[in-house]
Structure 1
Amino acid sequence: MSTNTRAFATHAPTEPLGLFNFVRRSPRADDVAIDILFCGVCHTDIHHSRNDWGRANYPMVPGHEIVGRVTAVGADVTRFKLGDLVGVGCMVDSCQQCAPCGKGWEQYCESGSTFTYNSVDRQDGSPTYGGYSDHIVVAQNFVLKVPENLDPAAAAPLLCAGITSFSPLRHWKVGPGSKVGVVGLGGLGHMALKLAKAMGAEVTLFTRSAGKETDARALGADHIVLSTDPDQMAAAANRFELIVDTVPYAHDLNPYVPTLAVGGTIVLVGYLGPVEPALNSTPLLLKRKAVAGSLIGGIAETQEMLDFCGQHGITSDIEMINIQDINAAYERMLKSDVKYRFVIDMASLKEAA
């Protein structure tokens, strides 16, 4: 049966988020019902809420870094049982038949993934509503097992920030002795440092802020390069096999290209849009360097990432907030005033006026 759901939503690009009640769809035979305990706050939530990308549908309940406990399972569910600690990330469905889906790359589904919010259910056409809510219903194939040894609140950002950083590290085969650069020290960047270090890489942070060295080293950085210092950038020439660029806005990539080793790659994970200023292709061609992109990760890879984090005790550095503080948190995120991810204690939703 369908369930009344309490949430926070926005109804227009310029409106703050506020209390919203709606009805979750009735669980299907392959569905898992989840009581949401914690939900991370991602920069994407702001972009969608404020229609920065022009694809917003209202009312909108954001949230795709979800951790909770299973409260019910459908008749065909075999992977989960009542009480399991589980997660839901950015997707809740895909066609599961195209070539990318067949490779476990559901995020690149040829007919488009069904996202956790601001999307449309493939089966009944209803809008999807995200994790700023008290519970959610998701098909078992898109539910993840969260290791019980991890702090569930600090594990929530792994469902987006974690997998977004992990996927390119795995794809470009980072391992012991790899030389990896990370551009930017925010929600994505701090996870990239932790994960690359745990994989055995020698890790360097590129930053514009001289004051981040202590934090960066605590997170796993072996070296810090001030990207505004030409001498430091020159000293880093020809070093990196992979650079994970987490910056969420347009910025000049050209200064980073000389720091790549021959055959090295810069992978963009934070910014969607035109590269400005223009990228000079000459050094790419002359030394087989590449600029690439990567979007979250598939379900199997996300489970691999969670298991890896469980084995290594890796979670996100978080600041816990109540749902009533979400609008102020958005403004602070825009000023990079968080170390390094806000997580909503969804118990506060019970008290929301």
Structure 2
Amino acid sequence: MSYPEKFQGIAVQDHNDWTHPKKISYEPKKFDDYDVDVEIEACGICGSDTHCASGNWGPKSLPLVVGHEVIGRVVRVGPKCHTGVKVGDRVGVGAQVSSCLDCDRCNSDFEPYCAEFITTYSQPYPDGYVSQGGYASHIRAHEHFVIPIPEKIPTHLAAPLLCGGITVFSPLINNDCGPNKKVGIVGIGGIGHMGLIFAKALGAEVYAISRSSAKKEDAMKLGADHFIATKEEPDWEKKYASTLDLVIVCASSLTEINLEQLIKTMRIKGRIISICVPKETEELNLKPFQLSGITIGNSQLGSRKELIQLLQLVADKDLKIWVETLPISEESVHDAFVRMEKGDVRYRFTLTDFDKEFRN
């Protein structure tokens, strides 16, 4: 398993023309003692990719290779690596590639909240190198963020778990999702559909919450016990008043959610946890008295420990998320970006056939 000094990737060249990425070659970051190089076989397409590519989260250093749901084979291991990863292993890299690994947060398995967090693409390392993502031939990351993939999980289904999956799984397990709990999932899309699957697998009574009933049939197949169409059911918040223990908001925007209504469905000590990351200009306004008796918070990604736990759950219970595959190319990434903007995906994309694009 050899590779060239330069990596190749499908990169966004211009935020104003972000749906037309181009293939480039680029220098990888300096290889450090704890780094691992992965030859990529597949990469999921996340909503974060379109936000960064389009400039919704502010201008980024370009050209930029996005993608942080990476599955591949290890081709190089740093001399000080000690996690047990070895050349030839099938592994995954999610939305984080580095942290200090020495602060209280890191030592408590909350690496995504470390002050020295480095995301998989678009963020500078201390030496100024801007991280590049997984629509590429290879990726280089600190060993802590290189995760073994259970043999039982197919590659194209494993990829979306590395960001979308762990992003919804982390707040579920950190907020007591399980038997005898009533859990709502708001937004039945790429992440929300996984939330339904995982909440059900954890033993909760699951409520799918969407604006219309268009996805009701899908939601029930995915594991929902109940379906709430907020734009079609008058006074839905009264019908479900004081019902839910936990709600995970997976919608693309918090301001599009009627939080005043949603709050009324919560039991005392209930929690509403948002995982959405909208445009950087969006602001949320709440009246303090609306929050009486409940908690509203935010969750970010998930730790190595949580990701391993999720992968084991998926393997043990043979959980199947809904994924459409596309062979990676400039054209395929363009098509996927356009379709994602239209909401034309049920419910995740995974790019495949990396060997044909990068290793011919």
TM-score (norm 2): 0.91
Query: Which one of 52, 57, 71 corresponds to residue 53 of structure 1?
Result: 57
In the alignment, what sits opposite 1:289?
A: 294
Is 1:128 matched with 2:123? no
CA distance in 2, matches of 1:231, 1:258: 11
Aligned-pair distance for 1:142?
Answer: 1.1
One-letter amino acid matched to 2:65: V
Q: Deviations over 1:112-159 (max 9, x none)?
A: 31111001234x432211000011121211111111100111110001
Closer/same/farther in 2, CA of residues 282 and 319 from structure 1, 3 Å limit = same
Matched ranges for 1:244-263 at <5 A:
244-249=248-253, 250-251=255-256, 252-263=258-269
Instruction: Check the 8 A contact 2:29/2:131 in 1, yes or no.
Output: no
In the alignment, what sits opposite 1:109?
A: 114
In the alignment, what sits opposite 2:332?
A: 325
Matched ranges for 1:61-210 at <5 A:
61-78=65-82, 79-110=84-115, 112-122=116-126, 124-210=127-213
Which 10-residue stretch deviates more, 73-82 or 221-230?
73-82
Q: Which SS does the other structure have where 1:24 is aligned?
A: coil
CA distance in 1, matches of 2:285, 2:130: 38
Q: Deviations over 1:260-295 (max 9, x none)?
A: 11111111111346776732332322xx11211111
In the alignment, what sits opposite 1:268?
A: 274
Query: Which one of 332, 338, 344 corresponds to residue 351 of structure 2?
Result: 344
Which 10-residue stretch deviates more, 70-79 or 201-210?
70-79
Instruction: Check the 8 A contact 2:137/2:358 in 1, yes or no.
Output: no
Instruction: Check the 8 A contact 1:180/1:242 in 2, yes or no.
Output: yes
CA distance in 1, matches of 2:61, 2:156: 28
Instruction: Check the 8 A contact 1:3/1:25 in 2, yes or no.
Output: no
Which 10-residue stretch deviates more, 265-274 or 234-243?
265-274
Instruction: Check the 8 A contact 1:132/1:346 in 2, yes or no.
Output: no
Is 1:242 matched with 2:249? no
CA distance in 1, matches of 2:310, 2:298: 19
Query: Which one of 24, 28, 34 corresponds to residue 24 of structure 1?
Result: 28
One-letter amino acid matched to 1:127: V
Instruction: Check the 8 A contact 1:151/1:315 in 2, yes or no.
Output: no
One-letter amino acid matched to 1:10: V
Q: Which SS does the other structure have where 2:219 is aligned?
A: helix
Closer/same/farther in 2, CA of residues 126 and 162 from structure 1, 3 Å limit = same
CA distance in 2, matches of 1:277, 1:104: 29
Closer/same/farther in 2, CA of residues 163 and 351 from structure 1, 3 Å limit = closer
One-letter amino acid matched to 1:261: R
CA distance in 2, matches of 1:160, 1:349: 25
Q: Which SS does the other structure have where 2:16 is aligned?
A: coil
CA distance in 2, matches of 1:113, 1:351: 29
Instruction: Check the 8 A contact 1:210/1:226 in 2, yes or no.
Output: yes
CA distance in 2, matches of 1:239, 1:58: 47
Closer/same/farther in 2, CA of residues 165 and 172 from structure 1, 3 Å limit = same
Is 1:38 matched with 2:42? yes
Aligned-pair distance for 1:352?
Answer: 10
CA distance in 1, matches of 2:199, 2:206: 7
CA distance in 2, matches of 1:351, 1:275: 38
One-letter amino acid matched to 1:267: I
Query: Which one of 209, 214, 222 corresponds to residue 211 of structure 1?
Result: 214
Instruction: Check the 8 A contact 1:179/1:201 in 2, yes or no.
Output: yes
TM-score (norm 1): 0.93
Which 10-residue stretch deviates more, 186-195 or 271-280?
271-280
- Cα RMSD after superposing both structures: 2.0
Aligned-pair distance for 1:34?
Answer: 0.9
Gaps of 5+ in 2: none
Q: Which SS does the other structure have where 1:225 is aligned?
A: strand
Closer/same/farther in 2, CA of residues 47 and 349 from structure 1, 3 Å limit = farther
In the alignment, what sits opposite 1:334?
A: 341
Q: Which SS does the other structure have where 1:211 is aligned?
A: coil
CA distance in 1, matches of 2:128, 2:56: 24
Aligned-pair distance for 1:164?
Answer: 0.6
Is 1:278 matched with 2:280? no
Q: Which SS does the other structure have where 1:203 is aligned?
A: strand
Aligned-pair distance for 1:55?
Answer: 4.6
CA distance in 2, matches of 1:166, 1:97: 24
Instruction: Check the 8 A contact 2:260/2:290 in 1, yes or no.
Output: no
Q: Which SS does the other structure have where 1:230 is aligned?
A: coil
CA distance in 1, matches of 2:178, 2:161: 20
Instruction: Check the 8 A contact 1:28/1:74 in 2, yes or no.
Output: yes
